[in-house]
């Protein structure tokens, strides 16, 4: 542990990085600006790199500083949360990290049911596309999106999704969309982080090459879906993520449910040692029950999770 810098220096670094100001960071930490500057200089000396670039126009993080912040901010947050829990006598805290679109479109509408079933568990939920670092104690469970290549972790698939072209009723009517070939002639919306891209869909469902230009590109499923509701184009998205959009009539499958690809791309991931914690056991049992209900409502067979060490085989297209 000798290589760990002083906590006060790390706190000063995080505050300056977040506020982009030594003066504002000093006010937040109840220190003088010179004291904060001293702590940053001390940390830079300890690390052997410059974390900030100072100029007459203010302070800007260096590339090394940005990278370091991405690693230590979560650890500092975990320390603060653990301290707060201990101070208030909370022993059943659960820290769940989730991919943003799943958190907003699928998990959040269901959390009230979890809270009612487990009132003794204090749930802490964070969302970002960056996976949690379990080595830094950032989360008990990480709900990840993508192709599972996470060694030395338990990987439990949640549900199978149907990926298909979706558009607003007005857009479908305006362009008189009835045939697959027409998708080559209308604006398409690309989800840049999706495990299924337009090129995959056209190749497998139409035996054609996808267009090289798109009306818009988004790195969140929710933004792609919302843009489709606004008539920007056709989105290739998950019917599970779009469930509310479809139920409200804001979106419709362009070609029905026939031309679709099925994938498993959302997973509950955690170190095997976490499985013995009662809050983790409760959350995993609950989320798999919710995933099973989702699968049943979409006509898919529920995914049966494999418990224990190692990764479950869990991607299918």
Instruction: Name the CATH topology of 91-159+264-297.
Output: D-Maltodextrin-Binding Protein; domain 2 (3.40.190)
Q: What pLDDT digit, counting tens, does each position of 155-214 carry?
A: 999 999 999 999 999 999 999 999 999 999 999 999 998 999 999 999 998 888 888 889
Q: How large is the angle between the packed helices 33-47 and 22-29, nearest 10 degrees?
A: 100
3-state helix, strand, coil in the chain (%, to 5): 45, 20, 35
Q: Provide the pLDDT for residue 256.
A: 85
For residues 83 and 19, give the distance between their C-alpha atoms in angstroms, rounded to a whole number: 23
What average pLDDT does the structure give for the chain?
Answer: 86
Dihedral sign for Cα atoms in the order 135, 136, 138, 143? negative
pLDDT tens digits for 30-39?
Answer: 899 899 999 9
Tens digits of per-residue pLDDT, 104-163?
A: 999 999 999 999 999 999 898 989 888 888 877 778 999 999 999 998 999 999 999 999
Question: What integer pLDDT is reported at residue 299 of this predicted model?
Answer: 61
Which pLDDT score is estimated for 82? 66
Domain ranges of the chain: 7-75, 91-159+264-297, 161-263
Whether 91 shows a pLDDT value over 90: the answer reads no
- Most confident stretch, 18-27, 224-233, 252-261, 305-314: 224-233
**Could you tell me where the DSSP H helices lie in the chain?**
7-19, 22-29, 33-47, 63-87, 100-102, 111-117, 169-174, 198-201, 221-229, 243-247, 278-297
Report pLDDT digits (tens) over 280-316: 999 999 999 999 999 887 665 544 444 444 433 333 3
Task: Write down the CATH superfamily of domain 161-263.
Answer: Periplasmic binding protein-like II (3.40.190.10)
User: How far, in Å, CA of 138 to CA of 132, rounded?
Assistant: 6
Cα-Cα-Cα-Cα torsion 265, 271, 277, 283, nearest 10 degrees, comes to -10
CB 167 within 8 A of CB 235: yes
Q: Output the six-digit token pair for 234.
A: 């056709």
pLDDT category at 244 given cuts 50, 70, 90 is very high
Q: What is the dihedral of CA 203, 205, 211, 217, to 10 degrees?
A: -110
What does pTM read for this prediction?
A: 0.69
State which of 126-130, 247-251, 256-260 shows the largest mean pLDDT: 247-251
- The three-point CA angle 149-155-159 to 5° equals 105
Per-residue pLDDT reduced to its tens digit, 208-237: 888 888 989 999 999 999 999 999 999 999
**In whole angstroms, what is the distance from residue 71 CA to residue 88 CA?**
27
- pLDDT value, residue 305: 42
Residue pLDDT, tens place only, 39-68: 999 999 999 999 998 777 778 899 999 888
pLDDT (0 to 100) of residue 311: 39
Architecture of domain 7-75: Orthogonal Bundle (1.10)
Entry field: residues in the chain: 317
Same fold flag, 7-75 and 161-263: no
Q: What tokens does 87 get?
A: 């101070």
């Amino acid at each position: 542990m000798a290589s760990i810098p002083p906590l006060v220096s790390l706190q000063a670094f995080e505050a300056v990085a977040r506020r982009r100001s030594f003066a504002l960071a000093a006010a937040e930490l109840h220190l003088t600006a010179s004291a904060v500057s001293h702590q940053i200089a001390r940390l830079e000396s300890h690390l052997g790199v410059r974390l900030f670039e100072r100029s007459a126009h203010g302070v800007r993080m260096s590339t090394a500083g940005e990278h370091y912040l991405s690693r230590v901010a979560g650890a500092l947050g975990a320390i603060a949360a653990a301290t707060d829990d201990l101070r208030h006598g909370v022993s059943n805290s659960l820290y769940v990290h989730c991919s943003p679109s799943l958190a907003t479109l699928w998990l959040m509408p269901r959390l009230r049911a979890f809270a009612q079933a487990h009132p003794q568990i204090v749930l802490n939920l964070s969302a970002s596309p960056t996976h949690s670092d379990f080595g830094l104690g950032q989360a008990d469970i990480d709900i990840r999106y993508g192709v599972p290549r996470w060694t030395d972790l338990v990987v439990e698939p949640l549900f199978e999704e149907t990926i298909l072209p979706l558009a607003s009723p007005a857009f479908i009517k305006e362009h008189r969309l009835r045939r697959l070939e027409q998708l080559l002639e209308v604006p398409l919306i690309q989800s840049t982080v999706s495990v299924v891209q337009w090129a995959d869909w056209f190749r497998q469902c139409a035996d054609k090459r996808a267009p090289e230009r798109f009306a818009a590109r988004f790195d969140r499923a929710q933004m792609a879906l919302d843009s489709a509701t606004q008539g920007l184009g056709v989105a290739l998205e998950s019917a599970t993520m779009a469930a509310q959009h479809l139920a409200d009539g804001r979106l419709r499958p362009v070609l029905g449910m026939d031309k679709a690809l099925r994938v498993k791309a959302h997973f509950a991931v955690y170190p095997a040692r976490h499985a013995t914690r009662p809050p983790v056991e409760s959350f995993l049992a609950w989320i798999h029950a919710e995933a099973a209900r989702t699968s049943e409502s979409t006509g898919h067979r529920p995914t049966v999770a494999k418990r224990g060490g190692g990764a479950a085989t869990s991607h299918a297209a």
